[in-house]
Structure 1
Amino acid sequence: MLALSYLLVSLLLSPCFGDSSTISVIRDAPWKFRIVEGNQPEAALVSTFNNTVNETGWSLLEIHGHPDLTTDEEMAYMAGYAEGVHTGELIYMTYTNTLGTVCKEKSSLCDKLQEFLNSNIKFLKDNIASNPKSDYWKQINLYLRQLEGLEKGYYSSKKNPTLPPNAFFYLQYDCDMEDLQEAFTGSDSHRVLGDGSCSAIIKVLPNNEDLFTTHDTWSEYQTMLRVFKLYDLPYRLINGGRIPGSSISFSSYPGKLQSEDDYYIMSSRLVTMETTNGIMNKTLWDFISPQSVLEPVRVMVSNRLASSGEEWCKTFKPFNSGTYNNQWMIVNYNHFTPGQALPSSDLLWVLEQIPGTIVYDDQTKVLQSTSYWASYNVPYYTEIFNLSGYPGALKQYGNFFSHDKTARALIFARNHSQVTDMDSLHALMRYNNFQFDPLSACNCTPPYSGEYAISARSDLNPANGTYPIPALKRRCHGGTDNKLTNSEMVKSLSCLATSGPTHSQQPVFKWSTSGFQDTPPLGHPDEFDFAPIVIKWGEIN
C-alpha cells in the first residue's frame, strides 16, 4: 500500500454493488466524500459498471469525473476508489488467476523485487515533491493517487479477501516484473524462447477511404477476465486548460489502471498500441535501475499529455525503465481525412524501447508507400534489432527471428490487400488456418504450429509434437482478443471488440475440454464463443 501521510479521506458509505450498477461520489468538503447509488447531478464523479463477461466476454467500466466539483488529486483518488468498489471481486479473481503464486518458493527474488519497488516509489515521490510545476510529475502523482484509491475501494468491502502486501503494485507491474525477474536472476522459467505477445496492423483502405487501427492481444489464457474501460478524467494542466488526453478508452483487466495489452483511444484523437519485443542480449539488464519510471506509468502519462505522435514519443522517452520493452505505434487521426491524400508526416510514429535505448521516428511514408504498418514482436529499427540480440537468434533459429521473413510478416504482406472494410480486417486479425496455410509451416512434427498465425492458437498444437523453438509447442497461450477502430469510431472513443481465442477457422476454446484444466479460472466462462461487440460510451466531458 502506498502511504501518503498527509491524505485524510472520509468515505461515509462503503457499499458493495452488484454486476450492473451506477454510483456517484459526492464531495462534501476537501477530502470528504460519500457514495450514493445512481447518477446524481451533484456528483463529483460517476462510475458505471456492467459485468457481462458471460454474455460478451467483456465487462464494461465507465468513469466520469467533473473537475468543477473537485480537485484533480481528489478526482484521481475517487476514480480509483469507485473502480475498487465496483470491481473488487474481479480484482481478487484476476490476482489469484495470474499472480497468486508470484512469490511462492522465490523468497530471495521477492526480496529483490520489494527492494526495487521501495526504491522506485521513493524516486517517484521525491520527484513529485521536487517538481510542483511539472505536468509530467503531476500526472505521475495522479496515477499514484488513483492507485491508492483503487486499493482503498477494494478493501471497503469486507467480502474481499486480504491480498498480499504490494499486490496492487504487482498488478500494475506484472509485465515489468517478468523483466525484473530475468534481470535479478539471469533466467525466467515462466518465459519461453520466442514467446509472442500481440499482433497489430494500421491499414489504409484503397483510395484512402478509411484508416483502421487494430490489435490482437497474445497472452496466457488465464488472463481472459477482461474489462473495457473509459477513464473520462479531465485533469488540468499546470498553466491552465485541460490535458489533451482527458478521456481514454482502453481494453484492460480488473485491478489495472492501464491497458497492458496495450490498446488506447484518446480524446486527443491519438490511438496508441504496442507489440512486445524480446531481449536476448542479457547484458542489457545492467541498464535497469529503480531510478526510473516503470512502463505502465510512462504510458498513461504520455497518453494524457501528448497531442501528437512526436509529443507522445518525447514524453515516453525520459526515465526509461528498460522493462516491458515494446514497439509502440502512435496514430494521429487529426491528420487523416477519408478520401483525401495522406499527409507527408505526423500520421504514424513508431517507437521501440530496450534497456538503455529508445529509438523513434515518423513512419508516415511507410503508410503512403505500402498502405499498412504491421507489428508482430520483432524489432523494426536496426539499432534495436542488433542490440536486443536478434542477429544471433536469427543465425541459430532462422527466419522466426527475422523482421521481414517471420511467419506473421509474410501473412500480413500477403493478406493485407484483401482488406476492403471493417469485416475483412476483423477476419484478417482473427485469421488462423495453421494446419493448411503454407506460411504456418515449420520444421516441426507435425509440420506446422498454431503459433504461426495472426491470432495464435498454441493450445491446438499436439502435446507430443516436436518443435525447434519452445514458443511453437503446445501451450495454454494464444490470441485472446481483437480491438479495432476507424476514423469515425475514434471520434467517440469507440471500437469493435472481440473476446477470447479465435474460432474463425478453429474450434471454440473451452476450458473443460482444453486439457489444461477441467474447470475455468475464477470468473471465466467455460466456453469463449463470443461475437464482436461495439464498445460505446455515454456523454464524455
Structure 2
Amino acid sequence: MEKQSIRLCVLLLLLSTLASSVKTYQLQEATVYWDAAQKSVILKEEVMETDRGGAYGYFNDTLLLSGWGVLEICAGYGGVTQEDETTFFLAGYLEGYLTAGQMINHYSNMYPQLIKDEKVLNPLKKFLSKQDQWAREQVKLRRNSDPLWRHLGLILAQLDGLHAGAAQWAKTKHREPLSAFAVQFLNGVGDLLDLVPALTPRSNSSTGGASTFRMPGMGHCTALIKVLPGFENLLFGHSSWYTYAATMRIYKHWDFRVSDTHIATGKMSFSSYPGFLMSLDDFYLLGSGLLMTQTSIGVFNASLFSQLSPHSLLAWQRVRLANSMAHSGEEWALVFSKYNSGTYNSQYMVVDLSRVSLGHSIRTGALTVVEQIPGRVMHSDQTQALRRGYWPSYNIPFHVEVYNLSGYGVMWKKYGVDFSYDLCPRAKILRRDQAKVSNLSSLKHIMRYNNYKRDPYAKGHPCKTICCRNDLRPRRPRPGGCYDTKVTDYKMALQLVAEAINGPTTQGGLPPFSYVTDVLCLTSGNFTRLIFEFVRVGGGAYSVSNGEKKPRKRRALTDALARLPFVSNGFSPQMATTADDQREPADVAALSTNHGCHHHCNSNNNNNNNNNNKDSEAGESATSATTSATESGGGTASQSIGNGSVINPSGGSNGKWVRLNVGGTVFLTTRQTLLKEQTSFLYRLCQQQDLHSDTLHVTSHLTPLPQQVPPKHAHRVLCVRGAFNPDGLHDARRLMVNIGSSYSYGTEDQAEFLCVVSKELHTSGSGLGTEQSHKTKLFQIHGSRM
C-alpha cells in the first residue's frame, strides 16, 4: 500500500478560502429596493425591512462553524407592487451581494477542476454564449404565449441580478468582479461535467474505440427513499460525491411571491453552493409538496454527444423550471424533458407528499423517476417500489432503454457486474441494509456508510460503497468522494426542514480527510481537520395531507443560526474525533427573531395562486446544547432571546445562555457548550462560582475593552505574536484550544504563546493594567505553546 501522506495538488485554493472565511465570518442582513424612476437598485445593509423591501434576507457565513453557510431570501413581499421579473432580479441581486466573496472563492476552486485543458475554454465560452443568447431570444418571442418561457425569463432575471449584485460588492471592496462567463460557469457546473468532455478531444476512451466510447469520471451521488413497513414514515436521503474542492456549502431558503398563476411554488429549501441558483446535488424540498433528488448517469456511448446543441436549455435551467411549475411528479417530468441539452445526465426522483398518507396508503404518483441522456428523457411511475419498501439510486440507469443507449450493457460485458443495475456494489449493500433503516438516525448511518475494508460487497475499494472515500485508495488516490449527506422525513419535509452534514465520512474509524496548503498544493496525511456534525436546516409554511395542499401558519425559518453550538459571527472549529452518526444534531435557539422571513412571507400560500389545485460523515458527535426553556436559575427573573430561550441575568453557574465578546465580536452560546472541552480556558472560566455575568469579554492584550464593560468581567488572552496578525485576537479560533495541545499557524518563529489572565485584572482609568493575581499565574503555567 502506498504511503498515506500523498500530495493532492488539485484543491488549490480551498484551505486559503476557508482561512479567509475565518476572518470575514459574520452574519450579514440586507434589504434591496427597486427604484423604478431611476431603474436602479437601492441596497440597505444591516437591516431587513419586511414591510417595504423588494427583497430582504441574510447570509450567515457559518461554513467553518457547522460546515454550512445559510442564506435566506424573501422577495416580492414588500408593500410596493412589483413585476415578477423585478422580484427575481432583486432576489438574485441580494444573493449576489451577500455571497460575492464566497462566489469568487468557489469559482477559483472549481475552475481548475473542470478546465484541465485550456484548449476547451474558447469552445466552452462560445457554447455557453450561444445558449444564453438563444434562450433570451426565445423568452422575448414566446413569453406571452408559453408559461415555460415566461418563467425562464424570471430565472434569467435572477441570474442577471446575481451577477449585478456580486459586481456591486466587488466595487465596494475594490475587488475584481466576476465575469458573466464566471457566473454562467458556476451555474453550469453540473452541465459542464458532460459539456467539457464533449468539447474536448477524447483521450480517456474505453472499449469500442475512441470514437465511440469514453470513460466518464466519478459517479455523482447516492440516494435512498425508504418507506417503513406499515407506512409509518417516509425517509429521504442523499449523499453527494464530487471533488473535495467543492465543499464550500450554502444551504439556501428562498421564498418568492409570484403572481403568475402557472407557477406552483416560489418557495424552496435546498443544499447548494456559492453563486449557484440551483442545488447541483440535487436535494430540494419544495413548497408545492414535492421533494426532488438525483444521482448522475455516466454516458459511455460518446456518440450520443454529437446531438448536443446550444439551442437547448441546460439541465440546471430545466430543473428550476420543473421545480417551480410542477404540481406533481408527472408534471415535473414533462416540464423537465423539454429542450433537453443532453448535459448533466442524471436519474431524478420526484416524491409527491400529497400522494402519501402515513399509516394508510401510498397512492400512484408518489414517486416519479426521470432519466436523461443526450437525445432522450424517460420517466415512469415507481410508486410500487416505495410500497415494497425502498427506492435506491447509485449512478446506474433504471430504464432499460436508457441503460443500453448510454453503454452500460457493453460495459457490463467487458468489466463485469460493477456496471449492473441489480448487482453493482451499492445495489447489493442497499438491498441488504435498507431493512435496518427505521428512523432518521439509521438513515444517516446508511447514507454515511463506508466499511470497505470488511464489507465483502465493497471488495476492498473505498468507493464501492454508499459513501465513497476516493482519497483512501491505495493506488492513485484522489481528493474526492462522498462529502455531504442530507436527510429528511415526511413530517420534516412538510415544513421544508432537513438535517445536513458537510465533510467526508469517518464512519467505522476511517481517518478524517484534512486540509493543509502550501500555496500550490494540498497535502493529505499531515493536515488541518474540519469535522462537523449534522445540523438542522430549513423551515416552512406549507402543509400537505390527504392529497390536499393547505397553507399553514408560518414560523420564522430556522436554520444553522438556530442549530449550532455557537450562534455568532465568529469561528469555532469542531475539534471532535471520529464519532457515530447516530446522535441528534446540535440544536440551539436562534439568536434573533429578526433572522428569517417573517409573517409577510407567510400571508400567502407558497404558490400564491394555487389554492385549488452530490458526498461524508464527519464527527457526528452532536451534543445538544438545548435545555428546557423553563430554566431560569432558581427563580431569578429571566429574559428571552430569539425564539423564547432564556438567559439568566444573574449569570453564574446557573445561567443557560452566555454572550461571548471576542475582540468586539459577540457570540451567543451556552455554558453546556463552553464546558464541553474540559481543558480549554473557557471551561475554567465557567467553573468559577463568582461569575455573575451572562457576558464573557475576551480580548487580546492589544485590543482595548469597550468603555462600558466592567473590568471585573474582562478575561484577557495574551498572545505573544510573531510577524503576522499583530492586531490582537479577533476570531474565536483559539478559544477552544486545549491546554497542552499544539495549534501552529506557521513556522516556529511565528508560533504563539497563549495564556489566560483571570478576570481579576486591575485597571487604571479606562485601560487595563497588567497586575496579575494568583489565578493569572496559574493559567500562565498551564499555557499552551503554539
**TM-score between the two structures when normalised by the length of structure 2:** 0.61
Matching residue within 436, 440, 447 for 1:418? 436
1:512 matches 2:516 = yes
Of the structure 1 ranges 127-136 and 177-186, higher mean CA displacement relative to structure 2 is found in 177-186
Distance 1:424 1:59 in 2: 25
Give the partner amino acid of 1:128: V
Distance 1:499 1:302 in 2: 27
1:479 matches 2:482 = yes
Query: How far off is 1:42 after superposition?
Result: 1.3
Aligned-residue CA RMSD (Å): 2.3
Distance 2:217 2:48 in 1: 48
Instruction: Describe the SS at the equivalent of 1:432.
Output: coil
1:413-468 CA-to-partner distances (Å, cap 9, x unmatched) read 00000011110111010010111111111xxxxxx1100111111111223xxxxx
- What's 1:65 paired with? 75
1:119 matches 2:130 = yes
Of Structure 1 and Structure 2, the greater helix share is in: 1
1:392-430 CA-to-partner distances (Å, cap 9, x unmatched) read 110111111100000000000000000111101110100
Matching residue within 38, 41, 50 for 2:47? 38
Instruction: Describe the SS at the equivalent of 1:359.
Output: strand
Distance 2:178 2:56 in 1: 27
Contact 1:327 1:353 in 2 (8 A): yes
Counterpart mapping for 1:271-310 below 5 A: 271-310=291-330
Contact 1:205 1:371 in 2 (8 A): yes
- What's 1:56 paired with? 66
Distance 1:260 1:346 in 2: 24
Query: How far off is 1:102 after superposition?
Result: 5.2
- What's 1:6 paired with? none
1:453-487 CA-to-partner distances (Å, cap 9, x unmatched) read 11111111223xxxxxxxxx521111111111111
1:403 matches 2:456 = no
Distance 1:97 1:199, change over 3 A: same
1:490-537 CA-to-partner distances (Å, cap 9, x unmatched) read 1221101111111121222211399971499xxxx9423111011034
Distance 1:210 1:378, change over 3 A: same
- What's 1:490 paired with? 493
Distance 1:528 1:358 in 2: 40
Query: How far off is 1:367 after superposition?
Result: 1.3
Contact 2:453 2:461 in 1 (8 A): yes
Distance 1:416 1:519, change over 3 A: closer
**TM-score between the two structures when normalised by the length of structure 1:** 0.88
Counterpart mapping for 1:1-40 below 5 A: 19-29=26-36, 31-36=39-44, 37-40=46-49
Distance 1:213 1:487 in 2: 8
Instruction: Describe the SS at the equivalent of 2:61.
Output: strand
Distance 1:487 1:259 in 2: 20
Contact 1:250 1:259 in 2 (8 A): yes
Matching residue within 251, 265, 278 for 2:271? 251
Instruction: Describe the SS at the equivalent of 2:41.
Output: strand
1:47 matches 2:57 = yes
Distance 2:220 2:25 in 1: 33
Distance 1:404 1:172 in 2: 33
Matching residue within 347, 351, 362 for 1:331? 351
Distance 1:516 1:200, change over 3 A: farther
Distance 1:90 1:519, change over 3 A: farther
Of the structure 1 ranges 60-69 and 188-197, higher mean CA displacement relative to structure 2 is found in 188-197
Query: How far off is 1:29 after superposition?
Result: 2.9
- Unaligned runs of 5+ residues in structure 2 are 1-23, 206-213, 540-556, 558-597, 603-786
Give the partner amino acid of 1:264: Y
- What's 1:532 paired with? 534
Distance 2:339 2:36 in 1: 36
Contact 1:172 1:256 in 2 (8 A): yes
- What's 2:365 paired with? 346
Of the structure 1 ranges 156-165 and 416-425, higher mean CA displacement relative to structure 2 is found in 156-165
Give the partner amino acid of 1:439: Y
Matching residue within 215, 218, 224 for 2:241? 218
- Unaligned runs of 5+ residues in structure 1 are 1-16, 442-447, 464-472
Aligned length: 500
Give the partner amino acid of 2:73: I
Contact 1:181 1:188 in 2 (8 A): no
1:372 matches 2:380 = no
Query: How far off is 1:111 after superposition?
Result: 2.0
